[in-house]
Structure formats: structure tokens, C-alpha cells
Amino acid sequence: MNQDELKRMAAAEAVKQVKGGIIGVGTGSTVNHFIDLLAEIKQTIDGAVSSSEASTERLKGHGIPVLDLNATGELELYIDGADESTRHLHLIKGGGGALTREKIVAGASKRFICIADESKLVDVLGEFPLPVEVIPMARSHVARQLVKLGGTPVWRDGFITDNGNIILDVHNLRIMDPVKMEQEINNIAGVVTTGIFALRPADLLILGSPEGVKVIE
């Protein structure tokens, strides 16, 4: 089985968790499978809250109504992918640059189910370069502070987020304490969001593997 089939396997398992209502929907290639499968049961839900322009377009393409989070109240369920996850369900997200809206929707949801292929499961976060969304004028300042934290920030040149900001991808971090690192990066002036999801981790991790679906909670 290739990686894409494993992603679809995890997405198919997550669709079984959908019990109506309004679904929070993340971003990325794994979530794209989820959206396509959600379309098959779209009559059973009231709509979706989306974490990116890309997911909004895909949802609407399937005829799934996309709702404003300000109008929905707290969501029962949020489904999203990840670039890395530990067994503690601490994540790195933002490889596609959607981390800020993802963190908002995750924070506004009672239950966060993360879907991925099993290659995303790691012992320690940080081999995947950590995305940090930054206000453009703060780019150099934030980069210097990230160096002080031990990282090597690289500007994702040419990429602008849905919120009009830039991304620094931080290499060479070995994140032993994800909660502390998330707080430290959040505290740098000019940082909008760090791709560490540890203060609000996932509640359930569904992994597609050649042996079948694996679930970690």
C-alpha cells in the first residue's frame, strides 16, 4: 500500500466518527480524502467549518455548506491531519501553511481527531521543520529569537498564508517539552502561531498502516 492509500484508510475510519451536526475540517492531503468521503454522507450533517481557503473550495465543490465559526458556537468534532505526532498526541502541523486557522478550529472543538499515515508517528517532535506563522514586518526579529531557542529558521520564500502572513520553517529543533516550546514561541512578539499543537493536543490519533488502522488515545 502506498502512503496515499494509508491516508485514505485513516480518513475512512474518521468518517465513521461523524454523527451529524457541524464538522470542523482541517487542511492537507489526508483531510482531502476525508472531505471526499464526507461528501458521501453529506445529507447527515449540517455543514462544515473550514480551516483554509483550499478546504473551503473542496467542501463547496462537493456541495457541503461552509459556515462561519462566529455563527456556529463550539463544535463537537474537528478532523485534521498532522506532519508529526507523538504517542502523547502532541503534534507538529502547518506543512501546508494552514496552522493558525487549524489551531483556532481545534481550540473551538470539543473533540479533535487527528488522521495520518503511520510514518507521521515519532518519538520526539522536530525532525519535520516546525512551521511558525509570523507578521511580515517581524520576520528578522522572530528569526533571531528562534535561533536563540536552538533552531535554524528558514523563510518559506514566496508563500503567503490565508491570513496574509509569512512562514518560518524551523529546522534542527528536538522538541523534548512541546508545551514549554509552544509557550516560548507564542511569547515572541510578531509570532501569530506556532505549528506545535501541545497546549491543545489531539484527543485521538487514527493512523493508516499496512497492517490496518491503528488508534492511539
Ligand X SMILES: O=C[C@H](O)[C@H](O)[C@H](O)COP(=O)(O)O
- What is the per-residue DSSP string for 168-187? EEEES--BS-HHHHHHHHHT
Binding range to ligand X, per CB under 6 A, among 16-24, 78-86, 141-149, 205-213: 78-86
Please count the residues of this chain forming the interface with ligand X, following the rule CB under 6 A. Answer: 17
30 is in an annotated binding site: yes
Q: Taking Cα atoms as reference points, which of 209, 96, 82, 190 lies closest to residue 146?
A: 190
Residue 13 found at the interface with ligand X (CB under 6 A): no
Q: What is the x/- site pattern for ligand X, positions 102-141, by CB under 6 A?
A: x---------------------------------------
Give the nearest distance from C-beta 148 to ligand X in angstroms: 25
Q: How far apart are CA 48 and CA 187, in angstroms?
A: 31
Q: Taking Cα atoms as reference points, which of 191, 44, 9, 60 lies closest to residue 25?
A: 60
Cα dist from 159 to 10, 26, 117, 217, whole Å:
29, 19, 26, 34
Which residues are the active-site residues?
102
Q: What is the x/- site pattern for ligand X, positions 86-105, by CB under 6 A?
A: -------xxxxxxx--x---
Q: Which of residues 160-189 bind ligand X (CB under 6 A)?
A: none
Residue 201 found at the interface with ligand X (CB under 6 A): no
Backbone angles phi, psi at 101, to 5 degrees: -65, -30
Q: Taking Cα atoms as reference points, which of 213, 191, 215, 195 lies closest to residue 205?
A: 215
Binding range to ligand X, per CB under 6 A, among 10-18, 24-32, 64-72, 207-215: 24-32
Binding range to ligand X, per CB under 6 A, among 38-46, 79-87, 147-155, 199-207: 79-87
Nearer to ligand X, 145 or 193 (CB): 193
SS3 content of the chain, % helix, strand, coil (to 5): 35, 30, 35
Nearer to ligand X, 35 or 181 (CB): 35
In this structure, are strands 212-216 and 204-209 parallel, antiparallel, or unpaired? antiparallel
Nearer to ligand X, 30 or 145 (CB): 30
